[in-house]
C-alpha cells in the first residue's frame, strides 16, 4: 500500500508541485485520497488553525503509520524562518512586524505529534518557501535565478513593492514566473509540474527554506520501510 | 415545523437522515445529492388520493412521483418526517392487489398536496410582463413574482408589499420605489432609482431581480410550509448575507415554516457559526448520498477552540476538513 500524504495548500497546482518534490526527495509515491485547501488569500492564522485541525484528524493512532501531513504555506516575508533571507535593504515594518510563521507552525506540530520527528506515529512536512512558492519554482526553472538574487515581493506594480523600491520596482517573483512561462509557451499547471518533475533539485541547494523542507521530507525515508519507490 | 427527516430509497438516497432547523442550509459538492434532497420534499407534496390500508383509509401519494435509487430498484421506499412535539409521520410503501403502488401517510403533513416548488428563479421570468391572476404564487422559475406583488399591493396585504419594498431598499439602496406598471392589461415590475425615471425590471441587473424574487417568495401571504431554494446565494453580493441570513431565519420562525436552501458560498456559511445545527452536509460515496448534520462532523475536530475571526465557518468547510466538498478532481492529474 502506498503511504498516504495529506496536503493542506491553496490549490491543486501548489499541491502537485509540493507532492512531486516530496516524491523525488523521498523516493516514495503517495496516495492522496483527500484534498485540503486554505482559501486563497486568507490570513495566516486561518491556515495555522486548519493545519492544527488537520493534524488532529490523523494523529490519534497508537502505532507508527505511513501517513504524512504536509502543510504548505508561504512565508510572505514574515520573520523567524530558519531559512529566512537578508535583503539588500530592510523590509518595511508591515513585514517585520508580522508574527513569525515557521516557529509557530513548528511548535504546533511538535505539540501535536511530539518533538522527535523520527519517533512520531504520523509525520509532518512543512513546505514554507521564503518567500513564496515562486521562490522555489524560479531556480528550478532557470539556474540564473539563484536564491540570493530573488526579490521579496509578489508583483512589481504592488504598492508595497513600489514603496520598498521608492518608485518603479524591478520584476518581482510572479513577474519573473510569468516571463518564464511565456518563454516556454506553456500553461501555469505545466510550468509548475514540469519544474517539480524534471528540474535538477540541486538548483535549490542555495535555498535555506528548501533545505528545511528537504530535512522534513527525508525523515520519511528513514522511518518508512515501504518498497514502492519510483 | 419539520425537525427531522429519514429517507429510504429515494433517488441518490438509500438510507439517510438528518435534523432540520427553521432555516437549514445544505452544503455539498456538485452532484452530491443536494437537489435530490429538495426533490424529496417536493415529492411528498404531490396530490394525494385516499387508499385503504389494513382496513383504514389513508392519504396516499402515487409512486409515479418517486424515483428509486438505481441500485435498489427492487426495494421499497419509505420515509419518516419528525415534527415539533415529537410527532412523526411515516410514509410507507404499499402495493395493492392490482399492483398499484403508493406511499401511505400515517399522519397528515402540512404541505400535503401543496405541490411545493423548488425555487431556482430565472431573471428573465421575474422581469416578464404577466397577466393578473386570481391565485398568484411565485413559481419555481420566478414567474408569478409580478402577479404576487400586484396582488399584495392592490389587495388588502399592502403591509407585506411595504415589507418587501423596505427590505429591497435595504439590500439595494439605490432603489427609491417599487411598483408595477400596466401594459395592455399585463403587469410588470418597475423600479425607480434615486434621480432617475422608473425603469422596467428588464433593465435591472440579474442580481437585483433575484433579490426581489427571493423577498417576494418569503413574504407571500401564505408562504408554503416548506420553502425550497436552490443556490440561494446566486446573484447576491456576499455582504448581503449578513442581513439575508437572519431575515430568512426570522421569517421561517415567524411563520413556523421550514426554509431549506442549497449553497456553494462559504461567505454565507460564515453566518451559521451560531446556528451550526442548521447546516447539513450532503456527501456521495459509491453512488449513495448521505446527510450529515454539521455538529456531528464538528465533533471530530477542534474547531470550537478556534477564534471566529481567525477561522470563519465557511473557511473550515472550504478546506475540506469537515467534508461536503468535491473529492480530488483527479488525484492522478499530472500535466501532459
pLDDT of A226 > 70? The answer is no
Write down the pLDDT at residue B74. 86
CA distance A184 to chain B (A): 14
Residues 248-307 of B with CB under 8 A from A: 266, 300-303, 306-307
Which residue, chain included where needed, has cell 477552540? B305
Note the pLDDT tens digit of each residue in B54-96. 777 788 887 766 788 999 988 888 999 999 999 999 998 888 7
At B182, give phi and psi (nearest 5°): -105, 130
- The number of residues in chain B equals 336
Beta-bridge mates of residue B199 = B191
Distance CA A212, CA A206 (A): 12
CA distance A182 to chain B (A): 17
| Contact assignment for B311 to A46 by CB distance below 8 Å | yes
Note the pLDDT tens digit of each residue in A76-99. 999 999 999 989 899 999 999 999
Note the pLDDT tens digit of each residue in A7-58. 999 999 999 999 999 999 999 999 977 889 988 877 888 999 999 999 998 8
Residues of chain A in contact with residue B303, where contact means CB-CB under 8 angstroms, are: 53
Partner-chain residue, chosen from B300, B319, B333, that has the shortest CB–CB distance to A36: B319
Q: What's the average model confidence in pLDDT over B99-120?
A: 86
| Contact assignment for B321 to A194 by CB distance below 8 Å | no
Q: What's the average model confidence in pLDDT over B312-322?
A: 93
Write down the pLDDT at residue A227. 44
Distance CA B311, CA A39 (A): 11
pLDDT of B328 > 80? The answer is no
Query: With bands split at pLDDT 50, 70 and 90, how would you rate the model's confidence at B39?
Result: very high
Query: With bands split at pLDDT 50, 70 and 90, how would you rate the model's confidence at A64?
Result: confident
Partner-chain residue, chosen from B303, B320, B327, that has the shortest CB–CB distance to A37: B320
Does residue B222 sit at the A interface (CB-CB below 8 Å)?
no
CA distance A56 to chain B (A): 7
Query: With bands split at pLDDT 50, 70 and 90, how would you rate the model's confidence at B334?
Result: low
- Is B277 in contact with B204 (CB distance < 8 Å)? no
C-alpha cell at A129: 518557501
CA distance A119 to chain B (A): 24
CA distance B326 to chain A (A): 9
Give Cβ neighbours of residue B199 (< 8 Å, ≥ 6 apart). Answer: B190, B191, B192, B193
pLDDT of A230 > 50? The answer is no
Write down the pLDDT at residue B255. 85
Least confident interval from A39-53, A111-125, A150-164, B298-312: B298-312
Distance CA A197, CA A190 (A): 10
> ipTM exceeding 0.90?
no
Query: With bands split at pLDDT 50, 70 and 90, how would you rate the model's confidence at A164?
Result: very high
Q: What's the average model confidence in pLDDT over B226-253?
A: 90
Which pTM value belongs to this model? 0.88
Residues of chain B in contact with residue A46, where contact means CB-CB under 8 angstroms, are: 310-312, 315
Least confident interval from B20-29, B81-90, B106-115, B159-168: B106-115
- Helix H or strand E encompassing A47: helix A44-59
Closest alpha carbon within chain A to B320:
A36
Does residue A38 sit at the B interface (CB-CB below 8 Å)?
yes
Least confident interval from A163-172, B250-259, B272-281, B282-291: B250-259
Write down the pLDDT at residue A111. 95
Does residue A181 sit at the B interface (CB-CB below 8 Å)?
no
Query: With bands split at pLDDT 50, 70 and 90, how would you rate the model's confidence at A126?
Result: very high
Closest alpha carbon within chain B to A56:
B301
Residues of chain A in contact with residue B306, where contact means CB-CB under 8 angstroms, are: 49, 53
Note the pLDDT tens digit of each residue in A182-215. 999 999 999 999 999 999 999 999 999 999 999 9
Closest alpha carbon within chain B to A55:
B301
Write down the pLDDT at residue B332. 54
Size of interface A-B (CB pairs under 8 A): 70
Which residue, chain included where needed, has cell 504536509? A70
| Contact assignment for A38 to B315 by CB distance below 8 Å | yes
Does residue A39 sit at the B interface (CB-CB below 8 Å)?
yes
pLDDT of B102 > 60? The answer is yes
Give Cβ neighbours of residue B195 (< 8 Å, ≥ 6 apart). Answer: none
Average pLDDT, chain B: 90
Residues of chain B in contact with residue A189, where contact means CB-CB under 8 angstroms, are: 335
Q: How far is CA A195 from CA A189, B61, B158, B212, in A?
A: 10, 61, 66, 51
- The number of residues in chain A equals 230
Write down the pLDDT at residue A209. 97
Does residue B336 sit at the A interface (CB-CB below 8 Å)?
yes
Query: With bands split at pLDDT 50, 70 and 90, how would you rate the model's confidence at B335?
Result: low
Residues 196-225 of A with CB under 8 A from B: 197
Q: What's the average model confidence in pLDDT over A107-120?
A: 95
Residues of chain A in contact with residue B319, where contact means CB-CB under 8 angstroms, are: 8, 36-39, 50, 53
Amino acid at each position: 500500500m502506498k503511504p498516504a500524504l495529506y496536503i493542506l495548500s491553496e490549490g491543486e497546482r501548489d499541491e502537485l508541485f509540493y507532492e512531486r518534490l516530496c516524491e523525488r526527495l523521498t523516493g516514495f509515491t503517495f496516495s492522496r485520497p483527500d484534498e485540503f485547501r486554505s482559501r486563497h488569500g486568507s490570513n495566516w492564522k486561518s491556515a495555522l488553525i486548519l493545519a492544527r485541525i488537520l493534524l488532529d484528524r490523523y494523529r490519534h493512532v497508537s502505532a507508527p503509520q505511513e501517513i504524512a501531513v504536509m502543510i504548505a504555506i508561504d512565508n510572505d516575508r514574515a520573520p523567524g524562518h530558519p531559512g529566512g533571507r537578508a535583503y539588500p535593504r530592510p523590509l518595511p515594518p508591515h513585514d517585520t512586524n508580522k508574527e513569525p510563521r515557521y516557529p509557530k507552525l513548528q511548535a504546533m506540530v511538535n505539540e501535536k505529534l511530539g518533538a522527535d520527528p523520527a519517533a512520531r506515529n504520523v509525520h509532518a512536512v512543512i513546505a514554507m518557501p521564503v518567500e513564496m512558492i515562486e521562490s522555489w519554482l524560479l531556480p528550478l526553472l532557470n539556474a540564473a535565478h539563484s536564491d540570493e538574487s530573488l526579490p521579496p515581493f509578489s508583483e512589481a506594480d504592488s504598492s508595497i513593492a513600489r514603496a520598498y523600491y521608492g518608485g518603479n520596482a524591478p520584476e518581482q517573483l510572479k513577474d519573473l514566473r510569468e516571463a518564464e512561462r511565456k518563454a516556454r509557451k506553456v500553461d501555469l499547471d505545466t510550468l509548475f509540474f514540469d519544474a517539480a518533475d524534471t528540474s535538477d533539485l540541486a538548483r535549490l541547494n542555495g535555498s535555506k527554506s528548501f533545505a528545511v523542507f528537504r530535512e522534513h521530507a527525508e525523515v520519511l525515508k528513514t522511518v518508512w520501510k515501504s518498497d514502492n519507490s519510483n | 415545523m419539520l425537525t427531522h427527516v429519514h429517507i429510504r430509497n429515494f433517488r441518490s438516497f438509500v438510507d439517510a437522515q438528518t435534523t432540520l432547523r427553521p432555516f437549514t442550509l445544505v452544503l455539498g459538492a456538485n452532484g452530491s445529492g443536494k437537489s435530490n434532497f429538495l426533490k424529496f420534499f417536493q415529492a411528498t407534496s404531490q396530490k394525494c388520493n385516499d387508499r385503504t390500508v389494513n382496513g383504514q383509509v389513508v392519504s396516499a401519494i402515487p409512486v409515479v412521483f418517486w424515483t428509486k435509487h438505481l441500485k435498489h430498484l427492487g426495494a421499497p421506499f419509505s420515509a419518516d418526517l419528525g415534527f415539533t412535539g415529537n410527532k412523526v409521520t411515516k410514509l410507507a410503501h404499499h402495493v395493492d392487489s392490482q399492483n398499484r403502488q403508493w406511499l401511505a401517510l400515517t399522519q397528515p403533513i402540512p404541505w400535503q398536496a401543496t405541490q411545493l416548488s423548488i425555487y431556482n428563479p430565472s431573471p428573465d421570468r421575474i422581469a416578464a410582463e404577466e397577466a393578473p391572476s386570481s391565485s398568484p404564487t411565485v413559481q419555481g422559475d420566478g414567474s408569478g413574482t409580478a402577479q404576487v406583488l400586484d396582488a399584495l399591493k392592490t389587495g388588502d396585504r399592502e403591509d407585506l408589499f411595504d415589507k418587501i419594498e423596505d427590505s429591497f431598499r435595504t439590500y439595494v439602496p439605490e432603489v427609491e420605489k417599487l411598483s408595477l406598471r400596466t401594459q395592455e392589461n399585463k403587469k410588470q415590475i418597475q423600479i425607480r432609482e434615486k434621480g432617475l425615471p422608473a425603469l422596467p425590471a428588464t433593465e435591472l441587473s440579474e442580481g437585483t431581480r433575484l433579490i426581489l424574487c427571493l423577498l417576494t417568495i418569503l413574504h407571500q401571504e401564505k408562504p408554503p410550509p416548506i420553502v425550497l431554494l436552490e443556490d440561494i446565494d446566486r446573484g447576491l453580493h456576499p455582504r448581503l448575507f449578513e442581513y439575508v441570513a437572519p431575515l430568512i431565519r426570522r421569517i421561517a420562525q415567524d411563520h413556523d415554516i421550514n426554509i431549506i436552501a442549497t449553497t456553494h458560498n462559504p461567505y454565507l456559511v460564515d453566518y451559521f457559526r451560531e446556528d451550526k445545527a442548521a447546516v447539513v452536509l450532503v456527501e456521495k460515496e459509491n453512488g449513495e448520498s448521505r446527510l450529515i448534520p454539521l455538529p456531528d462532523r464538528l465533533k471530530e475536530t477542534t474547531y470550537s477552540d478556534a477564534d471566529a475571526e481567525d477561522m470563519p465557518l465557511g473557511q473550515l468547510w472550504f478546506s475540506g476538513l469537515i467534508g461536503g466538498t468535491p473529492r480530488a478532481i483527479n488525484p492522478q492529474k499530472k500535466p501532459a
